[in-house]
Amino acid sequence: MGLVVLLALPAINLLWQVSQALQGQLHSLGPDPGQQIVVELGQWALWLLLLVFSASPVRLWFGWRWLVIQRRVFGLAVFFYFALHITAYVVFLLELHFSEIIEDVLERPYITMGMMAATLLMPLALTSNNFSTRRLGRNWKRLHGLIYPAILLVIVHIIWIARSDLLEPLLYLLFVLLCFAGRSRRLLSVFKGR
Amino acid sequence: MRTIKEHEVTDKAVYLNRRQIIKAAGLSAIAGGFAASPAGSAELKRAETMGGQGPQWLRQRVSNASISNGSTSEALTPYEYVTGYNNFYEFGTDKSDPAENSSKFKSDPWSVEVGGECEVTGRFQLEDLLKGQDIEERIYRLRCVEAWSMVIPWIGFPLHKLLSRFKPTSRARYVKFETIYRPAEMPGQNAFFATLDYPYVEGLRMDEALHDLAFIAVGLYGEPLLAQNGAPLRLVVPWKYGFKSIKSIARITFQKHRPQSSWQKANSKEYGFFSNVNPKVSHPRWSQATERRLPSSLFSSNRIETLMFNGYADEVAHLYQGMNLRMNY
Task: Decide if B325 is inside a domain.
Answer: no
Establish if B58 belongs to a structural domain: no
Domain of residue A161, residue span: 2-192
In this structure, are B259 and B284 located in the same domain? yes
Asked if B297 is an interface residue toward chain A (Cβ–Cβ < 8 A), one would say yes
Residue B319 has pLDDT above 80, yes or no: yes
Same domain for B146 and B224, yes or no, is yes
Q: How far apart are CA A156 and CA A148, in angstroms?
A: 13
| CA pair distance B109, B64, nearest whole angstrom | 21
Residue B299 belongs to some domain of the structure? yes
- Give the chain B residue whose CA is nearest to the CA of A90: B299
The ipTM is 0.79
Q: Which of B195, B301, B304 to mutate to test the interface with A (most CBs of A within 10 A)?
A: B301
Confidence of residue B14 (pLDDT cuts 50, 70, 90): low
Q: What pLDDT is stored for residue B300 in this prediction?
A: 80
**Kind of pairing, strands B223-224 and B234-236?**
unpaired
Query: Is the predicted pLDDT of residue B75 greater than 70, yes or no?
Result: yes
The secondary structure of residue B321, as a DSSP letter, is: T
Q: Are residues B16 and B164 in the same domain?
A: no
Closest residue of chain B to A25, computed from CA coordinates: B5
Are B28 and B177 found together in one domain? no
pLDDT of B3 reads 38
**B154/B205 same-domain check:** yes
* pLDDT at residue B36 greater than cutoff 80: no
Distant-in-sequence, close-in-space partners of A145: CB < 8 Å, separation ≥ 6: none
Whether residue B88 lies inside any domain: the answer is: yes
- B82 phi/psi in degrees, rounded to 5: -60, -35
Span A32-47, mean pLDDT?
Answer: 93
* Nearest chain A residue to B191, by CA: A167
Interface test with A, best of B149, B270, B294, B298 (most A CBs within 10 A): B298
* pLDDT tens-digit map of B256-300: 999 999 999 988 989 999 999 999 998 888 889 999 999 888 888
- Domain identity same for B30 and B150: no
B269 vs A: CB within 8 A: no
Question: b/e for B73-104, b at 16 or more Cβ within 10 A?
Answer: eeebbbbbbbbbbbbbbbbbbebbbbbebbee
Span B20-36, mean pLDDT? Answer: 39
Please give the helix or strand (H or E) that residue B18 lies within, else none: helix B12-24
How many Cβ pairs within 8 Å bridge chains A and B? 91
**In terms of domains, do B85 and B48 share one?**
no
Residues B38 and B143 in one domain: no
CB contact under 8 A, B297 and A25: no
| Of the candidate ranges A106-110, A178-182, B62-66, B210-214, the one whose mean pLDDT is the lowest | A106-110
* Residue B326 within a domain: no
B95 shares its domain with B244: yes
The partner residue sitting opposite B294, judged by closest CB among A32, A92, A109, is A32
CA distance A11 to A88: 12
Q: How many CB atoms lie within 10 A of CB B67?
A: 13
Residue B16 lies inside a defined structural domain of this protein: yes
Distances in Å between the Cα of B183 and the Cα atoms of B84, B89, B188, B224 are: 21, 12, 7, 23
- Considering Cα of B48, then B54, then B56, then B61, what sign does the dihedral take? negative
Domain count, chain B: 2
Q: Which residues of chain B does A29 touch, with a Cβ-Cβ cutoff of 8 Å? A: 1
Compute the average pLDDT of residues B27-37.
Answer: 35
Radius of gyration (C-alpha) of chain B in whole angstroms? 19
Q: How many residues does chain A have?
A: 194
Chain B residue numbers with beta carbons less than 8 Å from the beta carbon of A105 are none
Provide, for chain B, the percentages of residues in helix, strand and coil under a 3-state DSSP scheme, each rounded to the nearest 5.
30, 20, 50
pLDDT of residue B18: 56
Average model confidence (pLDDT) across chain B = 85
Determine which of A16, A100, A107, A170 to mutate to test the interface with B (most B C-beta atoms within 10 Å). Answer: A107
How much is the pLDDT for B41? 37
- Taking contacts as CB-CB distances below 8 angstroms, the residues of chain B near A167 are 193, 195
**Host domain of residue B32:** 7-52
Q: At what angle do helices A99-107 and A109-126 cross, to 10 degrees?
A: 120
Q: Round to whole Å and give the CA distance between A182 and A60.
A: 8
What is the per-residue pLDDT for B15? 63
Calculate the CA B46 to chain-centre distance.
20
